[in-house]
Structure 1
């Protein structure tokens, strides 16, 4: 052997391969059985000698030890040599040699015939199945005998589903499990249920096991005892027991909806675009709904497998007037570099500097056209793209307008009845969920000092006061409209150290802080783009107008068909459609 880093050379250097080669040469060239046995004996003796020298060498020079066969770059190509007739005949000879004392010599002729037959079978399999799975050799090499045992039935399944590539991929990807649980999987893959729910629909992620049986704890294999990682690999849909699926989107009031659901006792996952992790987490924890939030432009593509494994139950779909949605996107701010929520700052720092925490595109002189182009291709619009991959018959569209303060209570009366949500004592609490202009400014912690006493005052939104803190609003002299939304609070420990000089400091600070904050908020609100600004840009910019029209025409089809009343209520979107009809009538009619 010349190259120990070549898996092919090393497999061909195996004793089995060398013995088999000698056997084939004998068959082709003849020479008598005594000569054959002598040659086989010499090969075996020489092989043992080489192995002994190798072991002695690596004891002295361990750095010369060969790498693991699996780590060689040509490992997968080398596997096919284990299915060569040479290798398979050699395996028969080695087995006979080891069990000669048990009479294996009498079986040798039949075993050689069997090896020849199996060689032809595998050759045919690789020729026929290579197009079904490029890894067929690697897969079968780990399950040789099990594969041969069930070969006719396996061939039947593969033939029946030869035009349904996703299930073939699943079978070969999980071939060990497929062989070990063949009877159970065969029954499922040949059932009417599988045909109706997966094959007829050309479902991209067909389950390798029957979901009905998986949900039955009396079955030997069920959701309670199957590993989550394996369930993901086999495309098993998430189990029954959830109240609903929930799709929310950035720019659509998702935070208000999620917080209101949590107030009603709904256990749910928040945001992650690691969808495999979300799937596994559903096996580890008990949630009331499956929540998927699209914030990033790549979220839909990343989530494709996950959303195809959702249970076939009602899905709540949060939607909004697209033009208003654009407005929120265009005016979306963010923390300035180095700033975060609950930053601790000293009260002696000028308040203008303390509040200089947020950045907006309109402050950076970024154009409206640039921002519209950014948001057009974002994942927050993927309505129809998602609906095509979930149960279309069970969709509950929820318009963001139904979450406004004047409607949210009645909305949750309906949701509570439909989805069996918990009762809460104080329904009005969900009316006070506040975001608006304070985002990326609050919450803050202000440090006050007097002599050797240091205390921290929290400035937070009213619905998110730190648990256990004492509200200072009633103690402070200055009254301001912003105090309807904002709370100044202090921990119980710091409250013990509160004295008159510190109270005066906080009073003085609060007055200036609220005045400067109020001015900053008004300045931000005055600079924000409105729906009318966006419609004006569309009117004057045909290229971007057509981009938006085509994108919305693609993604709103299902909503328009099943909830035309909601679409009709979208004031700004109706104006946009009318504008497109007037300005691009011929194009729009052709597109439609």
Structure 2
């Protein structure tokens, strides 16, 4: 791991967790940027995989990406070894976000259960399929208590200042997550294109790119409905099971699911309550479905009930989600905890406050947090 990485990359993209990295990934890939990245806790494995990605793509527009996930922890010492192998003369793009909003997303973040069903059939109770997620410490609902029982100990949640020290200050461009919301993304990427000269794409592609909303998190590992053709008197050539993939439009793009055909129009005449929800099938299996009305009606009946029950579940969950103001109120009532977080943020934000105070000033909830801390003194 002492050998520097191949130099055929244009810039380094860094991101803290819970800061919009999935949407940013989708945008960059639309611009034909080849993102060289590998998620692992072992820096040698990260290094080896990125090394091969660069070596195998000598003519592409490559960037090296590292997202500081809280659930895949890389120690500071190991991370230092990896980052020291990057070219310090390369530009760096760092995706940042209001830290109180990051906490909100973290508290509302679901964890998929170990015993969840990713594959099921038409006889599987829908309630069993939908029972697939929990929150930290197996809590049934999000709670602000996890600010003090989990997030304050999630060391990789606050390493912005640590990560930037390995690069030249003048080479770092900070990008606020708010600037890649769908309504601002085209303008933002036009500005980034002027800096980094990747492919510019049309404005109409910059829409509907929220990847990890409630539905996206729920389907971060797609569901697969397995249908036994033998039960429907179908003559099959390759196999007796067809597999219907249940995912979102964003994941369909993000994971480049090219060998599947979307079948929403075949199954549903009306618009679905989830506009991003899609059902797709391997292209070679579509022939078994398209003209078999009995098969279509049976699948349709099951999935309509599935969607209806998922809608009820999500409507109830939406009422329990935590917002930034609840976090601020919780911290205000826990002043010792608030002082602990202030100490963390003061260290975390040294560099960005010094060089891009405008971004920090735009963080509504962090500014409210600072005012609360001033009132303590």
Q: TM exceeds 0.5?
A: yes
Q: CA 1:263–1:372 in 2, change beyond 3 Å: closer, same or farther?
A: farther
Distance in 1 (CA, whole Å) between partners of 2:245 and 2:142 is: 34
Residue of structure 2 in register with 1:451 after alignment = 232
Q: 1:81-230 maps to which residues of 2 (within 5 A)?
A: 229=1
Q: CA 1:398–1:366 in 2, change beyond 3 Å: closer, same or farther?
A: closer
Can you list the C-alpha shifts for 1:115-155, whole angstroms capped at 9, x where unaligned?
Answer: xxxxxxxxxxxxxxxxxxxxxxxxxxxxxxxxxxxxxxxxx
Q: Does 1:293 align with 2:58?
A: no
Q: Relative to total residues, which structure has the larger helix share, 1 or 2?
A: 1
Residue of structure 2 in register with 1:256 after alignment = 23
Q: 1:27-426 maps to which residues of 2 (within 5 A)?
A: 229=1, 232=2, 237-238=4-5, 240-267=7-34, 268-286=36-54, 288-296=62-70, 297-312=73-88, 313-339=90-116, 343-361=118-136, 363-364=139-140, 367-378=143-154, 379-424=156-201, 426=202
How much has 1:563 moved relative to structure 2?
A: 1.0
**2:161–2:351: 8 Å Cα contact kept in structure 1?**
yes
Residue of structure 1 in register with 2:336 after alignment = 543
> Please, what TM-score do these two structures have when normalized by structure 1?
0.55
Q: Relative to total residues, which structure has the larger strand share, 1 or 2?
A: 2
Q: CA 1:419–1:515 in 2, change beyond 3 Å: closer, same or farther?
A: same
Residue of structure 2 in register with 1:196 after alignment = none
Residue of structure 2 in register with 1:531 after alignment = 324
In the alignment, structure 1 segments of 5+ residues that lack a partner are: 1-228, 586-592
Q: Give the root-mean-square deviation of aligned CA atoms.
A: 2.2
In the alignment, structure 2 segments of 5+ residues that lack a partner are: 235-240
How much has 1:270 moved relative to structure 2?
A: 3.4
How many residues align? The count is 348
The SS at the match of 1:273 is: coil
**2:262–2:279: 8 Å Cα contact kept in structure 1?**
yes
Distance in 2 (CA, whole Å) between partners of 1:367 and 1:510 is: 32
Q: CA 1:515–1:363 in 2, change beyond 3 Å: closer, same or farther?
A: farther
How much has 1:252 moved relative to structure 2?
A: 0.9
Return the match for 2:346 from 549, 553, 558: 553
Residue of structure 1 in register with 2:237 after alignment = none
**1:478–1:507: 8 Å Cα contact kept in structure 2?**
no
**1:355–1:517: 8 Å Cα contact kept in structure 2?**
yes
How much has 1:451 moved relative to structure 2?
A: 3.0
Can you list the C-alpha shifts for 1:292-331, whole angstroms capped at 9, x where unaligned?
Answer: 1211354433201221232122111111000000011111
Q: CA 1:448–1:331 in 2, change beyond 3 Å: closer, same or farther?
A: same
How much has 1:511 moved relative to structure 2?
A: 1.9
The SS at the match of 2:265 is: coil
**1:448–1:505: 8 Å Cα contact kept in structure 2?**
no
How much has 1:507 moved relative to structure 2?
A: 2.1
Q: Does 1:428 align with 2:207?
A: no
Can you list the C-alpha shifts for 1:143-187, whole angstroms capped at 9, x where unaligned?
Answer: xxxxxxxxxxxxxxxxxxxxxxxxxxxxxxxxxxxxxxxxxxxxx
**2:14–2:66: 8 Å Cα contact kept in structure 1?**
yes
Residue of structure 1 in register with 2:296 after alignment = 503
Q: Answer with 249-258 or 268-277: which moved more.
A: 268-277
Q: CA 1:559–1:276 in 2, change beyond 3 Å: closer, same or farther?
A: same
Q: CA 1:435–1:429 in 2, change beyond 3 Å: closer, same or farther?
A: farther
> Please, what TM-score do these two structures have when normalized by structure 2?
0.85
How much has 1:506 moved relative to structure 2?
A: 2.1
Distance in 2 (CA, whole Å) between partners of 1:495 and 1:384 is: 51
The SS at the match of 1:292 is: strand
Distance in 2 (CA, whole Å) between partners of 1:481 and 1:402 is: 29
Residue of structure 1 in register with 2:270 after alignment = 479
**1:327–1:529: 8 Å Cα contact kept in structure 2?**
yes
Can you list the C-alpha shifts for 1:187-225, whole angstroms capped at 9, x where unaligned?
Answer: xxxxxxxxxxxxxxxxxxxxxxxxxxxxxxxxxxxxxxx
